[in-house]
Amino acid sequence: MGFFSRLWMVIRAKSNRALNSAENPLEMLEYADDQQRELLRRVKQGIIEVAISKRQLQQHVGSLEKRIPELEKQAQNAAGLERDDLARIALERKQAALRELDRLMTQVQEVELEEQQLVSAEQRLASRIEEFKTRRQTLSARYTAAEAQAMVKESLTNVSGEFAQLSMAVGRAEEKIEYMIARASAMDDLIESDGITGLSYTSVDVVERELTEIEAREAVDRDLKQLQASFEKDDTAGSEATARG
């Protein structure tokens, strides 16, 4: 295949794709319906014109049919007057009228046949248009549904892409949250192990510690009082023993 042949093929392919993308099926269906109805209108107009022509031919036929007896009578009258020349003229006119009558009758038959064909064509075309009307409605509904489905699927495709990006963002957010949770947990462990100066106790630990210290001091005070009381008791007993001695 030569260069120009390949170039022509490429041009045709691109042209076909451009036409297919620009072609609207609903508009094409409407155009086809309009063309068929225009054709039906022309057929009906043709039937009217043929009917008018047939009517005119029939009028000529009627005139000739009336003319022929008149010419026969003229020929008879001329012959009765022994005017053979006039009788011959009348008979020649009669023959011409008969020939014209035959020709008109043939034309009338042809026109009638054409009229029948046009009437039959009109009936077939009207039936075809009615069938096409139903088919057009079906095709229009199918195209509308298909177009809606395509739009929905296209939207879903776009949404799927957005969801994919959103999922990635959520994943990154989850990673950051998990990192912060892990970091906070590590800080708690560090605090509990007294790894940070001044942060060895929580607020609750401080309260408990102070309460414990208070209880310890009270216990010491009680023990001290008991010891003092014991010493005082011993001193009193010694004094009494000395006095008795």
Question: What are the residue ranges spanned by the domains of the chain?
Answer: 26-145, 175-235
Contacts of 90 (CB under 8 A, 6+ apart): 71, 72, 74, 75, 78
pLDDT over 80 (residue 191): no
Residue pLDDT, tens place only, 76-125: 998 888 888 998 998 999 999 999 999 999 999 999 999 999 999 899 98
pLDDT over 60 (residue 7): no
By the 10 Å C-beta count (0-12 exposed, 13-18 middle, 19+ buried), 37 is classed as middle
Q: Give the count of beta carbons closer than 10 Å to the beta carbon of residue 72.
A: 14
pLDDT over 90 (residue 177): no
Q: Are 101 and 57 in contact (CB under 8 A)?
A: no
Which of 136, 126, 157 has the alpha carbon at shortest distance from 47? 126
Q: What percent of the chain shows pLDDT beyond 70?
A: 73
Per-residue pLDDT, averaged over 14-42, amounts to: 74
Q: How confident is the model at residue 200 (pLDDT cuts 50, 70, 90)?
A: very low
pLDDT over 50 (residue 199): no
What is the separation of C-alpha 245 from the centre of its chain, rounded to a whole number of angstroms?
A: 129
pLDDT over 80 (residue 194): no
DSSP secondary structure, 70-95, as one string: HHHHHHHHHHHTT-HHHHHHHHHHHH
pLDDT over 70 (residue 4): no
Q: How confident is the model at residue 162 (pLDDT cuts 50, 70, 90)?
A: low
